[in-house]
Amino acid sequence: MKFFILILLLSSSVFASNWDELDTKTTYKLSQSFQLPQTERSGSILELVRGQEFELKEILPLEIPGALLTLYIFDYPKCSGIDMKTEMEIIPVDGTSPVVEVGALVEKCELQIYLETKDLDSNSLFE
């Protein structure tokens, strides 16, 4: 029985947190890698790698005609400069079924993640 409880505790720390479980002023690690094309350096790609740490600064509800979104703003500590900016890319979140997609971009040393509010209880990109 102790072995089963230990396995359960270890496995829960390996899996991504749900979006609605993320708290501001908390540091999280990316649970998957993805790339974003940089706008100021034509053809340059920003690689965000699994295990990279980000601190969640703010969670904002957004109302856009036809869609309810939630914006997650993370501090990007490995930013190469305040002027770095990427294009928004649609990123499929691993471990979601049906597949949940988020919009991701970096601007002014912040990683901004746009999520449809209906998907708040799904796996996030962070653990």
pLDDT at position 10 is 38
**105-117 average pLDDT score:** 96
Looking at residue 43, what is its pLDDT? 74
Report residue 71 as tokens: 């914006």
Backbone angles phi, psi at 4, to 5 degrees: -60, -45
Residue 114's pLDDT band (cuts 50, 70, 90): very high
Read off the pLDDT of residues 56-91 as tens digits, 9 standing for 90 and up: 999 999 998 989 999 999 999 988 888 889 999 999
pLDDT for 1: 53
Q: Which amino acid would we find at residue 75?
A: D
How far CA 98 is from CA of 36, 94, 95, in Å, comes to 23, 10, 9
Q: Taking 50 as the threshold, does the pLDDT of residue 9 lie above it?
A: no
- Rounded to two decimals, the pTM is 0.85
